[in-house]
Amino acid sequence: MSTILNLRHSVLPGFRLSFGITLFWLALIVLLPFAALVYSTVGMGWDGFLAAVGSERVMASIRLSFATAGLSALINLVFGFLVAWVLVRYPFPGKRLVDALVDLPFALPTAVAGIALTTLYAPNGWIGQFLAPLGIKVAFTPLGIIVALTFIGLPFVVRTVQPVLEDLEKELEEAATCLGASRWDIFRRVIFPATLPSLITGGTMAFARATGEYGSVIFIAGNIPLVSEIAPLIIVSKLDQFDQQGATAVALVMLGISFVFLLLINLIQWWAARRHGAGR
Amino acid sequence: MSIEIRNIRKQFGQFTALDNVSLDIAAGELLALLGPSGCGKTTLLRIIAGLEKPDAGQVLFGGADATHTHVAERQVGFVFQHYALFRHMTVFDNVAFGLSVKPRRERPSAEEIRERVMKLLKMVQLDWLADAYPGQLSGGQRQRIALARSLAVEPKVLLLDEPFGALDAKVRKDLRRWLRELHNDMHITSVFVTHDQEEALEVSDRVVVMDHGHIEQVGRPDDIYEHPATPFVTQFLGDVNLFHGRVDAGQLTIGSYEQALGQHQDADGDAAVAYVRPHDLDLTLQADGALAQGRVEHIHAVGPVVRVELQQADGQTIEAAVSKERFRALGIVPGDTVYVTPRKLAVFLKDAAGQQDYVI
Amino acid sequence: MANLTTESRPVRYVLTAVALVFLFLFLLLPLIGVFWEALHKGWQLYLTALVEPEAWSAIKLTLISAAIAVPLNLVFGVSAAWAIARFDFRGKSLLTTLIDLPFAVSPVVAGLMFILLFGANTAAGGWLQDHGLQVIFAVPGIVLATVFVTFPFVARELIPLMQSQGADEEQAAIVLGASGWQTFRKVTLPNIKWGLLYGVILTNARAMGEFGAVSVVSGHIRGETNTIPLHVEILYNEYNFVGAFACASLLALLALVTLLVKSLVEWHLHRQQHASTLRTAEARLQAAQP
């Protein structure tokens, strides 16, 4: 254990104990199940993998999952930024309550969110009844999936952008004003670029969460094959048919695509950070 | 362009930041606003810039009322204490910002912008950093870029808020000299805020000493240093020894020490305080005509002058600064009793001065 | 010109209104909807739905699995935070990434992994079943899945908090002769108690509300392996909306309590950090000088 510790000796005790507990629990709860996933993948073989993933229904579900996750992340980028902006910059009554409410999707169980949103957006629901005459169907369509994923992802964007907006020095805007810039110029050229990295981070987190989301979606989606059936649901239905291999294959594809997305976005962030120098 | 400030008032809640302040700034002058934190100097600067709106009073630019002119139209350059550089833009884009946000009709061509920015960067000797980001620069470099950025729009007035406040001592000294030279070349009306008396005295044409929202004294640096108008200015400009006594018809009495003053002729036994700077005190071994006596406590002999700390019988400390030669001639060691005589003192009557023992 | 660094009044009002309407439609209305649907047919029906034996058994199972998962992850979270925030060791960032892994995985995939590990047709699952312990489609599986999805919360909350506080106080305590345990109890714990409370509350909320992962491993055996969220699903799919929303309202209440605690904790941390922020700002200022 002493070889793991760095040369900088610490006077604090408890490294062995705390590190041991951490490693043990991590291995048991996280690493072992992952190992099981990897193990069963290895046993699957190429043909089995392609057979499980290649069907039209599976491909459609994966496309749907990523497309709806992407669209909901875009919606959250716009409205999450707006909410963070309003919360940081403008005074209004009940602000603290509203601020606390933003975390609701973190705290509310997904199944509850799912049935609540479904009831609201059903053709006879509080919101759905106004949309139905316009010919807009939300519940039991891909639109409903986007609504649920937007609900789930909102706090990720708000909570990453909010602190950055809070820390933005007033002097930057004053300096720009002194130089003759209009409010719109200042927003476009000073404030927005400064918050962009946090927007990307928040959007990525919302997107990643949305791709795997299950509980809030299955109620509102209607789960029509080829139309509104998401990839996690495919995994569940394959498991219900005791097709573990198929389920694993779909899970792998999803993990792989998510991983590529995360890698790309991390690369962008890393590139931006490098460009702007290490200091503040 | 000249600036006139007329009867400016500014409140922040209960706090009076500026209390009826008036000030004339001549065209082409380099003026320092000097004072302790909270004295209102930064607020005054921000009101001149238009970043803050006064509760009452007027600001005139070149004789024309600019009180209600928006910052963007005042044509002021403002340099912030912490630079306020745009982190996501290169040095070049930072300096070009003011030009590139001009309305399309007034905006110079890209080529012209490039030329002007590079000229400014050469002037601040940082043209080789045009493509760097602010995060990659040192504090001194950032401050010079901030200055170049504010000059790019050819302001009529340059305002600097504690421009060297966040820099370390060495860089600060260099930049000071550099700012002075820059001003000599450009002759743009400039106002800078500082809490460092040395900086104010060294760089500016005139110094405005402020305290508690009003102006204590305005004058040339040497004038202010030699003839401080109030006890506050005396104490704020440097170390000083205090001696309590009385003034009667222009005659100062402190213990057995007596001296005729050229002022306070109508004083009638009023309590007074005499302020003497350490280097205006001479040390002697004779008791005749001495202002006070004390036991030598410490001797700091590092540097060109020797600072001697004396303790008086009542426990008060006196600090005197004498030349190396004088110190050698005296041959004093800690524990000796020595006498001090003032070469020059500033005397203020107690009732007139208000807060007497102002501690900075 | 009242304030230079803000927009004109109409712009402010419009933006605020748009944001508030969005939040109302997307967040508040669903929340109100849950309680409305649960209660609009009267209290009597509401209470009946909750005391019905299957609902009751779901509530019990939810409480049990949370009662197991929360303390386990609490011990783990504190250990991990102590090791990561107080020591330098090789592979620290890898460890931090691995701790976050359960957040990155779809809950459904999490459940799948436990089936692959402990399912009846796997080596481990078969062996355990032969020795009388069924994991999948039984309570142990539900607990495992719950522990997995709530794994990072406490550690995630504590690590940044303890890193920002630094080890100075603990080192001082050790120098003054306190034992490791005394140092932890008397110095560390009081400093992190609010963050710890919030971490526990979050863990608990997620443990009681987890749907996807638990759904995959539970087998949906009514009265036996149903937690509240799973029971909500069954009732909803049977068009028993009052029952579904009655159970859902319990979880919604839990969410509200979580939000309340979060606000309290933030308020406390804010107060606690106010003095130290000033100090940090000064230090940063000095550090910024070349």
Contact by Cβ (8 Å): B78, A174: yes
- Residue B145: give its domain's CATH number: 3.40.50.300
**Fold for domain A46-277?**
MetI-like fold (1.10.3720)
* Residues B266, B321: Cα–Cα separation, whole Å: 33
- pLDDT value at C221 more than 90: no
- pLDDT tens, A99-112? 999 999 989 999 99
Residues B53 and B14 in one domain: yes
* Residues A96, A99: Cα–Cα separation, whole Å: 5
Domain map (residue ranges) of chain A: 1-42, 46-277
Mutation for B interface: A178, A182, A184, A189, most B CBs within 10 A: A178
Handedness of CA B119, B121, B123, B126 (dihedral sign): negative
* Residues B173, B77: Cα–Cα separation, whole Å: 22
Residue B36, in any domain of the structure: yes
Instruction: Assign A47 a pLDDT band (cuts: 50, 70, 90).
Output: confident
> Residue C88 has which token pair?
């330098």
Q: What average pLDDT score do residues B282-304 get?
A: 86
- pLDDT tens, C44-68? 888 888 888 888 889 999 999 999 9
Neighbours of A54 (CB within 10 A): 10
Share of chain A above pLDDT 70, in %: 94
* pLDDT of the residue at C278: 52
Structural element, H or E, at residue B199: helix B197-203
Helix, strand or coil, per DSSP, at residue B87: coil
Residue B321, in any domain of the structure: yes
Please judge whether B138 and C290 are an interchain contact, meaning their C-beta atoms are less than 8 angstroms apart: yes
* Residues B315, B317: Cα–Cα separation, whole Å: 6
Residues B179 and B299 in one domain: no
Residues B204 and B313 in one domain: no
* pLDDT of the residue at B355: 46
Tally the C-alpha atoms within 13 A of residue B337's C-alpha that lie toward its C-beta.
7
3-state SS, chain A, equals CCCCECCCCCCCCCHHHHHHHHHHHHHHHHHHHHHHHHHHHHCCHHHHHHHHHCCHHHHHHHHHHHHHHHHHHHHHHHHHHHHHHHHHHCCCCCHHHHHHHCCHHHHCCHHHHHHHHHHHHCCCCCCHHHHHHHCCCCCCCHHHHHHHHHHHHHHHHHHHHHHHHHHCCHHHHHHHHHCCCCHHHHHHHHHHHHHHHHHHHHHHHHHHHHHHCCHHHHHHHCCCCCCCCCHHHHHHHHHHCCCHHHHHHHHHHHHHHHHHHHHHHHHHHHHHHHHCCCCC
Instruction: Assign B29 a pLDDT band (cuts: 50, 70, 90).
Output: very high
- pLDDT tens, C155-214? 988 998 898 888 888 888 888 888 888 888 888 888 888 889 989 999 999 999 999 999
* Residues A149, A156: Cα–Cα separation, whole Å: 12
- State the average pLDDT for chain A: 87
Instruction: Assign C2 a pLDDT band (cuts: 50, 70, 90).
Output: very low
Instruction: Assign A280 a pLDDT band (cuts: 50, 70, 90).
Output: very low
Contact by Cβ (8 Å): B22, B8: yes
* Residues A86, A93: Cα–Cα separation, whole Å: 12
The rounded radius of gyration (Å) of the Cα atoms in chain B is: 25
Q: What average pLDDT score do residues B335-349 get?
A: 87
* pLDDT of the residue at B353: 47
* pLDDT of the residue at C275: 54
* Residues A207, A210: Cα–Cα separation, whole Å: 5
- State the average pLDDT for chain C: 85
Residue B177, in any domain of the structure: yes
Share of chain B above pLDDT 90, in %: 32
> Residue A246 has which token pair?
């198929």
Q: What average pLDDT score do residues C137-152 get?
A: 91
- pLDDT value at B317 more than 50: yes
Instruction: Assign C277 a pLDDT band (cuts: 50, 70, 90).
Output: low
Question: Of A43-52, A79-88, B274-283, which gets the smallest average pLDDT?
Answer: A43-52
How far does C276 lie from chain B, in Å, by closest CA?
Answer: 20
Q: What average pLDDT score do residues C233-240 get?
A: 90
- pLDDT tens, B141-157? 999 999 999 999 889 89
Residues B90 and B67 in one domain: yes
Please judge whether A4 and C91 are an interchain contact, meaning their C-beta atoms are less than 8 angstroms apart: yes
Chains that touch B (3 or more CB pairs under 8 A): A, C
* Residues C17, C20: Cα–Cα separation, whole Å: 5
Q: Which amino acid is at C27?
A: L
More confident residue, C122 or C147: C147
Q: What average pLDDT score do residues B163-176 get?
A: 83
- Could you please report the per-residue DSSP string of chain C? ---TTS--HHHHHHHHHHHHHHHIIIIIHHHHHHHHHHHTT-HHHHHHHHHSHHHHHHHHHHHHHHHHHHHHHHHHHHHHHHHHHH--BTTHHHHHHHHHHHHHS-HHHHHHHHHHHHSTTSHHHHHHHHTT---TTSHHHHHHHHHHHTTTHHHHHHHHHHHHH-SHHHHHHHHTT--HHHHIIIIIHHHHHHHHHHHHHHHHHHHHH--HHHHHHH---TTTS--HHHHHHHHHHTT-HHHHHHHHHHHHHHHHHHHHHHHHHHHHHHHHHHHHHHHHHHHHHHHH--
Q: How many residues does chain C have?
A: 290
Residues B66 and B201 in one domain: yes
Please judge whether A11 and C175 are an interchain contact, meaning their C-beta atoms are less than 8 angstroms apart: yes
How far does A113 lie from chain C, in Å, by closest CA?
Answer: 7
Please judge whether B132 and A277 are an interchain contact, meaning their C-beta atoms are less than 8 angstroms apart: yes
Residues B77 and B220 in one domain: yes
Mutation for A interface: B97, B145, B156, B162, most A CBs within 10 A: B97
- pLDDT value at B245 more than 80: yes
Nearest CA to B158 out of B186, B130, B185 is that of B186
3-state SS, B20-85, equals EEEEEECCCCEEEEECCCCCCHHHHHHHHHCCCCCCEEEEEECCEECCCCCHHHHCEEEECCCCCC
Residues B181 and B72 in one domain: yes
Phi-psi region of C166 (alpha: psi -120 to 50; beta: other; left: phi over 0): left
Give how many domains chain B has, as a whole number: 3
* Residues A16, A5: Cα–Cα separation, whole Å: 10
Q: Whole domain around residue B248: which residue ranges?
A: 239-275+344-360
- Could you please report the per-residue DSSP string of B156-178? SEEEEESTTTTS-HHHHHHHHHH
Q: How many residues does chain B have?
A: 360
Instruction: Assign B357 a pLDDT band (cuts: 50, 70, 90).
Output: very low
Is B238 in CB contact (< 8 Å) with chain C? no
Is C281 in CB contact (< 8 Å) with chain B? no
Instruction: Assign A271 a pLDDT band (cuts: 50, 70, 90).
Output: confident
Domains of chain C with CATH codes: 49-288 (1.10.3720.10)
- Residue B326: give its domain's CATH number: 2.40.50.100
Residues B258 and B171 in one domain: no
Q: What average pLDDT score do residues A171-194 get?
A: 90
* pLDDT of the residue at C19: 94
Residue B234, in any domain of the structure: no
- Residues 6 or more apart from B128 whose CB is under 8 A from it? none
* Residues B14, A169: Cα–Cα separation, whole Å: 25
- pLDDT value at B267 more than 90: no
- pLDDT tens, C22-41? 999 999 999 999 999 888 88
* pLDDT of the residue at C3: 62
Please judge whether C19 and A85 are an interchain contact, meaning their C-beta atoms are less than 8 angstroms apart: yes
Is B84 in CB contact (< 8 Å) with chain C? no
Q: CA nearest C73 in A: which residue?
A: A25
- pLDDT value at C274 more than 50: yes
Please judge whether B97 and A179 are an interchain contact, meaning their C-beta atoms are less than 8 angstroms apart: yes
More confident residue, C124 or A24: A24
